[in-house]
Amino acid sequence: MKNKPLRVTELAWNFLRPVLECGDIVVDATAGTGQETLFLCQCVGETGRVFAFDIQAAALQHTKDTLEKSGCADQVTLIQQSHELMVTTLKAAAIGEQAVKAIMFNLGYFPGGDQTITTQLETTMVALEGALSLLAPGGLITLCLYPGHPSGCAEAQAVIRWCEALESPFVAHHFRTLNRQAPPTLVMIQRTR
């Protein structure tokens, strides 16, 4: 952290690191440049499996390059598909009875890409319902939200409202910087049993 403000992406990593173990199955729901996919690979090791979704071929190519440079490409299944289809895709990938230990969402647009192609409130909410159904006891869902642009604001509000209504065994937390205008925020959902 040193002299820089803590970013919500780092905060998500800090929560996930102690929870993830070698051999876990995990999902990056928004691969983008692949930084989170790489992080997940490093956490679950060679015996783990990472499923990474993105709707854009350019994003998945970027993720593939990131993984190849780090020697992690074999651990990852890259899927060019909307994350709202996560449940059927993972079941088809024969993950069997093993539940998913972590699902990361970093909402918004592909950094350096077309800013009009962004996550959408409707599909994000479907993906979140699916993510709950896949999550292992003790697992985490993390969402980095960017309310600083209009569609990001509506999406963030919808996610937070939905989280407020979650029932046991799910517990939802919201982390926000207090002294910045419309800062990115982190939502984290735990499955306690």
Ligand X SMILES: C[S@@+](CC[C@H](N)C(=O)[O-])C[C@H]1O[C@@H](n2cnc3c(N)ncnc32)[C@H](O)[C@@H]1O
Report the nearest approach of ligand X to the CB of residue 191 (Å).
22
Rg over CA atoms, the chain: 16
3-state secondary structure of 117: coil
Q: Answer yes or no whether residue 80 interacts with ligand X by CB under 6 A.
A: no
**Judged by CB, which is closer to ligand X: 124, or 167?**
124
Instruction: Output the CA torsion 9→10→15→21 (10° steps).
Output: 100
C-alpha distance from residue 63 to each of 5, 28, 36, 59, 110 (Å): 26, 11, 9, 6, 11
Q: Answer yes or no whether residue 117 interacts with ligand X by CB under 6 A.
A: yes
Q: Answer yes or no whether residue 111 interacts with ligand X by CB under 6 A.
A: yes
Q: Answer yes or no whether residue 48 interacts with ligand X by CB under 6 A.
A: no
Distance CA 184, CA 156 (A): 9
In the list 59, 90, 134, 140, the residue contacting ligand X (rule: CB under 6 A) is 59
Structure tokens at 45: 């090791």
Instruction: Please identify, among the stretches 13-21, 52-60, 156-164, 170-178, the one whose residues bind ligand X according to the rule CB under 6 A.
Output: 52-60
Residue numbers at the binding site for ligand X (CB under 6 A) = 30-36, 53-56, 59, 82-83, 106, 108-111, 117-119, 123
